[in-house]
């Protein structure tokens, strides 16, 4: 099936997938614009990986309509597959090859690959280019997985928990790579448990629970729509700490400033975070 997706790189309507008695995806709808970085959030078992596998054409669906780059993945051609880059949770590179040999080998699968040496540098593996994969650390292997996902210069890049095992410096380098790919027009679908990463990279987010999208929008929009009131904290003249939940924190602070005649002792304002919203939407609000 090929159909007009109105500028969408990914268009999913009513997607369903069951494994025996378990419903992994239960009527999921998703629309990802071309050139967009889109974050897919949800707890383990919410259906994120199954959805990504269906988008990639690696798993059959039980129902719904799916269009990826204008094509149904279930009947996609080899040429279509060359436009898709994937970074799975589990590594797949042969352990006996070196980093350079592996990246060069995978580059041959694509009609217009990126320069292997440049990609090795972008993921921070220059110093390990001639090391065998079996001698790499877990984080270094994960960086290699990212290199193999982008080597084909994909139109759509599917990233399933890509920075698991990364140290902070490697994660920041990965963020720079994703931004550069997005600037070049690559559409990116990112699943991650790192909410800071999702907020940093994604133009829009969707939160998935029990196989359905329960909320979608920018991080700011999700906080505004689903976040609780802000909390204003201060210290009274007698030293007692006080706190107040309010939907109008600016007004509360203005009133306090007037009462104290200027600076408010111990003033602190806490607004709902993306993590707060995520936990509320996925029913884990009391799981901290």
Q: Which of 51, 54, 70, 77 is nearest to 11 (CA)?
A: 70
When mean pLDDT is compared across 150-154, 174-178, 252-256, the lowest value belongs to: 174-178
Q: What pLDDT does residue 2 have?
A: 40
Select the more confidently predicted residue: 92 or 280: 280
Select the more confidently predicted residue: 136 or 288: 136
User: Looking at residues 1-18, what average pLDDT do you find?
Assistant: 79
Q: Where are the beta strands (DSSP E) in the chain?
A: 8-19, 22-33, 37-41, 63-68, 84-87, 156-160, 187-191, 204-209, 212-217, 230-235, 241-246, 268-270
pLDDT above 50 for 17: yes
pLDDT above 60 for 1: no
Name the pLDDT band for 4 (thresholds 50, 70, 90).
Answer: very low
Q: What pLDDT does residue 257 have?
A: 95
Q: What is the mean pLDDT of the chain?
A: 90
Q: What pLDDT does residue 3 have?
A: 41
286 three-class SS: coil
What does the alpha-carbon distance between residue 164 and residue 197 come to, in Å, rounded to a whole number? 11
Tens digits of residue pLDDT in 97-123: 999 999 999 999 999 999 999 999 988
204 Cβ contact partners less than 8 Å away, ≥ 6 residues apart:
36, 38, 39, 216, 217, 218
Tens digits of residue pLDDT in 19-78: 999 999 999 999 999 999 999 999 999 999 999 999 999 999 999 999 999 999 999 999
What does the alpha-carbon distance between residue 225 and residue 123 come to, in Å, rounded to a whole number? 36
Q: What pLDDT does residue 286 have?
A: 60
CATH of domain 8-219: 3.40.50.300
Q: How do the domains of the chain map onto residue ranges?
A: 8-219, 229-271
Q: What pLDDT does residue 271 have?
A: 85
What does the alpha-carbon distance between residue 285 and residue 288 come to, in Å, rounded to a whole number? 7
Select the more confidently predicted residue: 174 or 33: 33
Name the pLDDT band for 6 (thresholds 50, 70, 90).
Answer: low
Dihedral sign for Cα atoms in the order 94, 99, 101, 102: positive
Tens digits of residue pLDDT in 195-249: 999 999 999 999 999 999 999 999 999 988 888 788 899 999 999 999 998 888 9
């Amino acid at each position: 099936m090929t159909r007009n997706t109105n500028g969408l790189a990914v268009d999913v309507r009513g997607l369903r997938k069951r494994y025996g008695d378990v419903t992994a995806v239960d009527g999921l709808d998703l629309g990802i614009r071309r050139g967009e970085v889109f974050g897919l959030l949800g707890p383990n078992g919410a259906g994120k990986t199954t959805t990504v596998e269906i988008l990639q054409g690696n798993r059959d669906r039980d129902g719904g309509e799916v269009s990826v780059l204008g094509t149904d993945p279930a009947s996609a051609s080899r040429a279509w597959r060359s436009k898709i880059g994937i970074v799975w949770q589990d590594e797949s590179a042969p352990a006996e090859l070196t980093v350079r040999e592996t990246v060069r080998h995978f580059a041959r699968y694509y009609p217009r690959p990126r320069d292997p040496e440049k990609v090795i540098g972008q993921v921070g593996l220059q110093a390990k280019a001639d090391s065998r994969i079996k001698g790499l650390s877990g984080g270094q292997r994960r960086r290699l997985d990212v290199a193999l996902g982008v080597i084909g210069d994909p139109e759509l890049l599917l990233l399933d928990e890509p920075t698991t095992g990364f140290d902070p410096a490697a994660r920041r380098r990965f963020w720079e790579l994703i931004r550069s790919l997005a600037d070049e027009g690559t559409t990116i679908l990112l699943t991650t448990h790192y909410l800071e990463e999702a907020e940093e990279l994604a133009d829009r987010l969707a939160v998935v629970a029990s196989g359905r999208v329960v909320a979608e929008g920018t991080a700011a929009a999700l906080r505004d729509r689903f976040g609780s009131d802000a909390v204003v904290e201060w210290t009274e003249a007698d030293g007692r700490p006080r706190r107040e939940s309010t939907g109008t924190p600016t007004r509360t602070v203005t009133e306090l400033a007037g009462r104290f005649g200027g600076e408010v002792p111990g003033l602190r304002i806490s607004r709902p975070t993306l993590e707060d919203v995520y936990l509320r939407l996925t029913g884990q609000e009391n799981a901290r």
